[in-house]
Amino acid sequence: MNMEKSVNIDWSTIGFSYRKTDYRYLSYWKDGKWDDGKLTEDNMLHISESSTALHYGQQCFEGMKAYRRKDGRIQLFRPDRNAARMQNSCRRILMSEFPIDRFIEAVKKVVKANAHYVPPYGTGATLYIRPLIIGIGDNIGVRPAPEYIFTVFCMPVGPYFKGGMAPINFIVTDYDRAAPFGTGAAKVGGNYAASLLPHEEAVKKGFADCIYLDPATHTKLEEVGAANFFGITKDNKFVTPDSPSILPSITRESLTVLAKDFLDMKVEERDIYIDEIDEFVEAGACGTAAVITPIGGIEYKGKLHVFHSQTEVGPITKKLYDTLVGIQFGDIEGPEGWIDLVE
């Protein structure tokens, strides 16, 4: 018997904006250990004005989703990868790591407690989940915080492309989002603060977002806004950049497996020179929010380079998207260990 509460939400118009749901998970780290953690209804954090998260950017986050299957059950997609990546982010900025099994358990608790907010199968909408670790406590010197909060909250979000997937254009920026051996590979807020201005300038010029080149030489393609890049070559290779300043996307890692094992393509992780993007017949940006954003064109030095088409999604991009989304919603059986049922 399904005892879920119901909510009155128009799933077709929710978009991607904050909405307070009923419960979030909260755990405190103090005196060398995490406490037991609990669900709470309060969505406000009460922290010291001297918290390192506020002054020195000592914080990191994750982004993941819960999906409603056709049979009504709810599932997560590779939550262990998010948990491990968050530990990696913590190590880079000297924060206390949250254990992987407890991370997954906390996410499941939050999803279960807010199950009535998980959109119905077939709407394309999902429950977006935001885990977060912040440095808190009394401190003013530049040093790691004496205390931490790990929290997980969630909200229903609509499909990124309301009218179906459509190609969009990007422009190469002169700004960097991260330094060569800086924090680019950690999912920390500072990288996002650094991206706000380049993003705004790209939008003012009529583009969806900007493309970052490698910060050392500005010759190689790195990230597409807050998503990873991939290109499909004429001879059917899936190519994606390799760099220590790219945030390792779980969507991209998954796409490389699907390209190899489901679409029988060759996969290359290597340098992609911005002068050589002619080799690609299709290109896309990938990340949890939109899954795949087909790239119509990239403007570089005043010239727009068009890939497959400005209006139509390329066939390989479409196949990769359909396969991944099929796995995420439970319609297609994915590789072992990718799906974690919430209940």
Ligand X SMILES: *Cc1c(COP(=O)(O)O)cnc(C)c1O
Among 251, 293, 317, 323, binds ligand X (CB under 6 A): 251
Q: Please give the Cα distance from 212 to 215 (Å, whole number).
A: 8
Q: What tokens were used for 247?
A: 């945030």
Tokens 């986050």 identify what position?
Answer: 61
Smallest distance from ligand X to CB 256, Å: 12
CB of 119 to ligand X, least distance (A): 19
Q: Of all helices (H) and strands (E), which one includes residue 55?
A: helix 52-55
The reply on whether position 208 binds ligand X by CB under 6 A is no
Q: Which two tokens stand for residue 232?
A: 């499909």
225 alpha carbon, distance to own chain's centre: 11
Which stretch in 8-16, 245-253, 259-267, 323-331 sits in contact with ligand X by CB under 6 A?
245-253
Show contacts with ligand X in window 94-153 (CB under 6 A). Answer: none
Q: Is 63 in the site for ligand X (CB under 6 A)?
A: yes
Q: How many Cβ atoms sit within 10 Å of the Cβ of residue 269?
A: 15
Beta strands 59-61 and 126-136 are antiparallel
Q: Pick from 250, 258, 313, 339: which binds ligand X (CB under 6 A)?
A: 250
Which region among 26-34, 150-158, 243-251, 323-331 touches ligand X (by CB under 6 A)? 243-251
Q: Which residues are catalytic?
A: 187
Q: Is 245 in the site for ligand X (CB under 6 A)?
A: no
DSSP-derived secondary structure for 208-236: SEEEEEPTTTS-BEEEETTEEEEEEETT-
Q: Does residue 78 bind ligand X (CB under 6 A)?
A: no
Is the Cβ of residue 48 or residue 256 nearer to ligand X in the bound state? 256
Kind of pairing between the strands at 168-172 and 33-34 = unpaired
Q: Answer yes or no whether residue 288 interacts with ligand X by CB under 6 A.
A: yes
Q: Does residue 209 interact with ligand X by CB under 6 A?
A: no
